[in-house]
């Protein structure tokens, strides 16, 4: 029996994790639940799963992780606010099933340095796919990681045609049903930019050996190219319960957690190159990833502010990445060593810079 703490239990990742656990009551036991503010759903979940330890808000989530014994903590909180619980989990020595990519990207080596080998198990679909594919070869046999991107709801559109797109259009993801922030990030391709940095930090592969290809069907979740020219891809219908289940009990597979591909019907999987002129976010993310230090945190913080402003009707869709780019370009990294305190200050300054630009838009 694996004991599990779920952070963000009311969200898309959290509720799908509870689906996995509900279907496998002899394999998993929930010992802690944390949410942002949705107390009513939290209480219903705690009653259903018999959970005594619950938390509301980030400070309580950090305390929950510190106080409660568990085999694995699933971090399904959205945003860089998830950094505290990520660090608390690693410091306690508990396995971290990581959906909250922002905490890794923002913390960078402040996070990776605290993690024992294998302590972080990726839940993000692309990184779970890569982790599965990497089991086919040794580290020095890996030539390249290839992340797939759905292309989002605006795939194939020119930059000019995106000026007036609405939040509702941006939230109409073609293949995945996810929370508001990650869905918006899929539309701008900021999500894929973040995922390139996430892949670099998780698998220690240099940026010039991490590629992205657009795969609108979201069936191939990512690939590893090996030195002999062989490429191993992980494929399954788009359903986060599969990578979540692997995150909860890596490297063991949970039977019947997802439906397999149906080979009795005709289907096509297609791949196409990125359109960097319409979607500059991935090139920008690689630039901040290479710069390192607090640059990824600045990129993410500016994006979080711009996404909120877009949904509040304060800026247009193209202003999201334009704001991030302007904040990153104006940022001067402090000479001092990166610490949690300096990171918090860099994020605060980036949010202020983003909001100053948004106010003028
Ligand atoms: N959804 C998906 O399929 C995928 C998601 N991810 C990543 O997983 C993470 C979660 O995404 P998703 O589930 O879609 O997001 P949702 O918006 O659906 O859920 C967010 C969860 O975080 C909780 N939360 C928000 N703020 C706080 C806080 N301050 N303290 C504690 N809990 C908080 C929310 O609680 P409340 O309901 O009370 O506000 C909610 O439970 C993101 O990092 C995302 O990028 C990665 C791959 C796929
Ligand atoms: C399911 C998942 O992992 C998301 O992060 C997904 O990758 C979003 O899809 P795209 O960013 O490829 O549109
Ligand atoms: Mn993903």
Cβ of 38 closer than 6 Å to ligand 1, yes or no, is yes
Average pLDDT over residues 264-273: 97
Interval 77-94: pLDDT, tens = 999 999 999 999 999 999
Query: From the annotation, which residues make up the binding site for Mn(2+)?
Result: 124, 126, 195
Average pLDDT over residues 296-300: 98
- What confidence score (pLDDT) does residue 206 get? 98
- What confidence score (pLDDT) does residue 5 get? 99
Proportion of the chain above pLDDT 70, given as a percent? 100
Handedness of CA 202, 174, 280, 179 (dihedral sign): negative
Nearest CA to 142 among 247, 223, 250, 201? Answer: 223
- What confidence score (pLDDT) does residue 55 get? 98
- What confidence score (pLDDT) does residue 20 get? 98
Cβ of 178 closer than 6 Å to ligand 1, yes or no, is yes
ipTM of this predicted complex?
0.99
Peptide bond into 251 cis (omega under 30): yes
Confidence of residue 229 (pLDDT cuts 50, 70, 90): very high
Cβ of 236 closer than 6 Å to ligand 2, yes or no, is no
Here the tokens at position 106 are 């923002």
Cα separation of 193 and 186, whole Å?
10
Rounded CA Rg of the chain: 20
CB of 153 within 8 A of CB of 220?
no
Here the tokens at position 131 are 């982790």
Confidence of residue 335 (pLDDT cuts 50, 70, 90): confident
Interval 132-174: pLDDT, tens = 999 999 999 999 999 999 999 999 999 999 999 999 999 999 9
- pTM strictly above 0.95: yes
Backbone angles phi, psi at 54, to 5 degrees: -130, 160
48-52, 182-186, 247-251, 332-336: which range is least confident on average? 332-336
- What confidence score (pLDDT) does residue 75 get? 98
- What confidence score (pLDDT) does residue 59 get? 98
Q: Which domains occur in the chain, in start order?
A: 2-123+240-249 (3.40.50.720), 139-226+274-360 (1.10.1740.10)
Assess whether pLDDT exceeds 90 at residue 23: yes
Cβ of 58 closer than 6 Å to ligand 1, yes or no, is yes
- What confidence score (pLDDT) does residue 361 get? 82
Assess whether pLDDT exceeds 90 at residue 243: yes
Interval 47-67: pLDDT, tens = 999 999 999 999 999 999 999
CB of 118 within 8 A of CB of 355?
no
Q: Whose CA is nearest to atom 32 of ligand 1?
A: 36
- What confidence score (pLDDT) does residue 11 get? 98
Query: From the annotation, which residues make up the binding site?
Result: 10-13, 36, 38, 100-102, 124-126, 150, 173, 179, 186, 191-192, 195
**How far separated are the first and last CA of the chain, in Å rounded?**
53
Sort strands 54-56 and 2-7 into parallel, antiparallel or unpaired: unpaired
């Amino acid at each position: 029996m694996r004991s599990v703490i779920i952070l963000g239990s009311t969200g898309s990742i959290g509720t799908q994790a509870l689906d996995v656990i509900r279907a496998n009551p002899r394999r998993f036991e929930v010992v802690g639940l944390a949410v942002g503010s949705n107390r009513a759903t939290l209480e219903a979940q705690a009653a259903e799963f018999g959970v005594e330890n619950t938390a509301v808000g980030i400070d309580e989530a950090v305390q929950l992780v510190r106080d409660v014994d568990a085999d694995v903590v699933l971090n399904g909180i959205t945003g860089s606010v998830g950094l505290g619980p990520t660090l608390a989990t690693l410091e306690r020595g508990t396995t971290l099933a990581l959906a909250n990519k922002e905490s890794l990207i923002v913390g960078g080596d402040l996070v990776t340095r605290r993690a024992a080998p294998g302590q972080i198990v990726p839940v993000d679909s692309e990184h779970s796919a890569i982790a599965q594919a990497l089991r086919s070869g040794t580290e020095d046999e890996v030539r390249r990681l290839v992340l797939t991107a759905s292309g989002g709801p605006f795939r194939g559109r020119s930059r000019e045609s995106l000026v007036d797109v609405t939040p509702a259009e941006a939230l109409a993801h073609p293949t995945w049903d996810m929370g508001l922030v990650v869905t918006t990030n899929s539309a701008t391709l900021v999500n894929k930019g973040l995922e390139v940095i996430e892949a670099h930090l998780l698998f220690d592969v240099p940026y010039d050996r991490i590629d992205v290809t657009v795969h609108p069907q979201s069936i191939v979740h990512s690939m590893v190219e090996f030195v002999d020219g062989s490429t191993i891809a992980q494929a399954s219908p788009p359903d986060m319960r599969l990578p979540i289940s692997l995150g909860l009990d890596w490297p063991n597979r949970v039977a019947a957690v997802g439906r397999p591909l149906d080979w009795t019907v005709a289907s096509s999987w297609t791949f196409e190159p990125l359109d960097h002129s319409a979607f500059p976010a991935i090139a920008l993310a690689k630039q901040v990833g290479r710069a390192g230090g607090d640059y990824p945190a600045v990129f993410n913080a500016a994006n979080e502010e711009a996404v909120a402003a877009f949904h509040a009707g304060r800026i247009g869709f193209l202003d999201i990445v334009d704001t991030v780019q302007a904040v990153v370009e104006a940022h001067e990294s402090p000479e001092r060593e990166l610490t949690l305190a300096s990171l918090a200050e860099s994020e605060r300054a980036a949010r202020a810079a983003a909001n100053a630009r948004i106010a003028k838009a």
